[in-house]
Structure 1
């Protein structure tokens, strides 16, 4: 995490670390975090990252996309104030999730992406206010589309790419969307 923070800061940008507060598996056995957020050593590291300019956000555990009470509780477990959210496994239920994110009071969400591949889930790469058709109005929070989930490139359930192949495949997408040039490591 510290290396990511330093590298991103070197580009005059800010890192956001989405922390998954739930350690126990979901009721269906699907895993949540493989770490305990309350661990003292982790708390110290997260607070140090925030002091260095990083942001902490909620990585809502399985089931929180439809349960505002659980999501609000997870927000209070963060080691620093959390203005943003991204749901675990990119869980999203349009008729319920919009209201959950809004009711908890997040400034932004970054769940709209694909688990199976990179690219923009709604074919739009800029932040926008989702429209809540059940309420007939735009939401108060911003949706910041997710271009690639951390596990998408290498996880056995997804693309299963080696790091060098991931870089060659994904880097052109990054250069086009950001306007930055990148060179191979």
Structure 2
């Protein structure tokens, strides 16, 4: 069995590493000989198969989204690429690693806050930390801090296109006065 963290075999544009038992490159014919887990062996031309090795992928300080959903609890991300193919392999802490074409992922950095925006965020975090849970509060965490305080304590990423990012960037919230007097109809009137 191949180690998918050390090698990736792409056949006709798909990562087939997990279903491959062995592979060889036939120098004489210029083809890949691939043996699948079911025992069948197939021959692929250079254009239909590629053997890729991992390259470092800089994910520090960035947030990775797969098909729009955040990729959480990962140890590292590996890039398997050549001139024709580009795949990311996500090594998860729970062992449920997966790979997909790089085009299925989006990479985002946290919203860049101005000093004024950072002050507003710190103020919100302070308020959340000072809310006291009560016995009648269903959002009490059991350790003396409120649910909201725990959320703010863990919040280290603000999506640049989120409502929170817009709120924390007061300079971008200035209203366009030229459009203030116009009527806006949400339907076609």
Which TM-score band applies after superposition, normalised by the shorter structure?
A: under 0.3
Q: Which has the higher strand share?
A: 2
Q: Which has the higher helix share?
A: 1
The alignment's TM-score, normalised by the length of structure 2, stands at 0.22
